[in-house]
Amino acid sequence: MKQPAAVLGTGQTHHRSKRLDVSMGGLCREAIDRALADAEVDWSDIDAVVLGKAPDLFEGVMMPELALADALGATGKPLLRVHTAGSVGGSTALVAASLVQAGVHRRVLAVAFEKQSESNAMWALSIGIPFSMPVHAGAGGYFAPHIRSYIRRSGAPEHVGAMVAVKDRRNGALNQYAHLRQSDITLESVQASAMLWDPVRYDETCPSSDGACAMVIGDASTAGGRNAAWIHATAMRTEPTMFAGRDHVNPQAGRDAAAALWKEAGITDPAAEVDAAEIYVPFSWFEPMWLENLGFADVGDGWKMTEAGDTAIGGRLPVNPSGGVLSSNPIGASGMLRFAEAAMQVMGRAGDHQVDGARTALGHAYGGGSQFFAMWVVRSTKP
């Protein structure tokens, strides 16, 4: 049966559009070295390494974990490579947790990275596949129609999307590692930014970042007696990209994952019992959409929490105190950053973006066409 597991330490890089000062190994090590220091362990304490990353075409390296084995400190150890699209950073943390929960290892290093400046994500994702209809809408064009559906269904007022952008970018300004740090952003400035994929504006869109994140996850013998983020529940669910009758706004896979997650964590009223939530929001409207999908709000009411300020730091349910994906988006690492921030919050190590008294936090990631979901609940107390 599941052995208790906890996050012992986290680390991340400074995220930038181009980290030209480092190699891929150097980028990973910037995050790893911080995580090892935060966990107060060294390489001899690490039993196994799990690496997550989105498509290999981004960096032009097939299974880069092989070439990076020395940089990852994995040589001579077990090394797993996870790839579950945009949710991969979250899935990677869950696989690392499984290694401990299954009683196989005592301490596992989880790493996720993306060095998008090696190529061009738009290129890698829009290679013309024979016979397929060329996507006429670019990257955001996939999600924008579903956002329109959400607005139509929920009757949400137009400014809600802009409100999320203002909140997350201002939170990002409190985070020394964030790519975008915009303390002076306003509702007016967001609304004045270019409409890229109507209804999605420029300022409501995530950046493209180079970055990495790492975590050390340990068992009870290594976590006992120290400040750690105990893993109380984990969930992963998948559904196909396109099928007849699919709900693209509120996908069943996300709802099922959340239901399983809350049940395992013993949470019956998530909005009341969760102190901070790091939710994968690459376009601002996904905050209200995922609030509903996760069960923090009733269907159609997610935007009301955002509009009421409930999701700001100091609100009823602070969402993305780190600044979220809207402030930093190294794709393969973005999910792990959510999971790491949740851990940092309950360990009280979130610095200027700390939510006061956070003891229970959610880390969430999704990928593909809103079809892969990974999430966990961490707490400051042992299960």
Restricted to residues 95-134, the positions that interact with other proteins (CB under 8 A) are 95, 98-99, 101-104, 117-120, 122-127, 129-131, 133-134
Q: Which of 352, 341, 185 is nearest to 278 (CA)?
A: 341
Interface with other proteins: number of residues (CB under 8 A): 114
Pairing mode of beta strands 276-278, 360-367 = parallel
Among 14, 26, 273, 304, binds other proteins (CB under 8 A): 26
Among 29, 170, 232, 338, binds other proteins (CB under 8 A): 29
> What b/e string do you get for 97-126 counting C-beta neighbours within 10 Å, with b at 16 or more?
bbbbbeeebbbbbbbbbbbbbeeebeebbe
User: 43 exposed, middle or buried (CB, 10 Å; 0-12, 13-18, 19+)?
Assistant: exposed
Q: How far is the CB of 50 from other proteins (least distance, A)?
A: 9
Say how far apart CA 144 and CA 150 lie, in whole Å. 10
Residues between 263 and 322 with contacts to other proteins, criterion CB under 8 A: none
User: Cβ neighbours of residue 182 under 8 Å, at least 6 residues apart?
Assistant: 169, 170, 172, 173
Q: Which of the ranges 14-22, 319-327, 338-346, 349-357 carries the binding residues for other proteins, by CB under 8 A?
A: 14-22
Nearer to other proteins, 48 or 276 (CB): 48
83 is an interface residue for other proteins by CB under 8 A: yes
Among 35, 41, 82, 213, binds other proteins (CB under 8 A): 82
Nearer to other proteins, 56 or 273 (CB): 56
Q: How far is the CB of 218 from other proteins (least distance, A)?
A: 16
User: Cβ neighbours of residue 108 under 8 Å, at least 6 residues apart?
Assistant: 46, 47, 48, 49, 50, 96, 97, 99, 100, 216, 217, 218
What mask of x and - would describe binding to other proteins in positions 164 to 203, judged by CB under 8 A? ------------------------------xxxxxxx---
**109 neighbors 214 (Cβ within 8 angstroms):** yes
Say how far apart CA 85 and CA 98 lie, in whole Å. 19
Among 14, 17, 22, 193, binds other proteins (CB under 8 A): 22
What mask of x and - would describe binding to other proteins in positions 31 to 50, judged by CB under 8 A? ------------x-------
Residues between 223 and 252 with contacts to other proteins, criterion CB under 8 A: 234, 236-249, 251-252
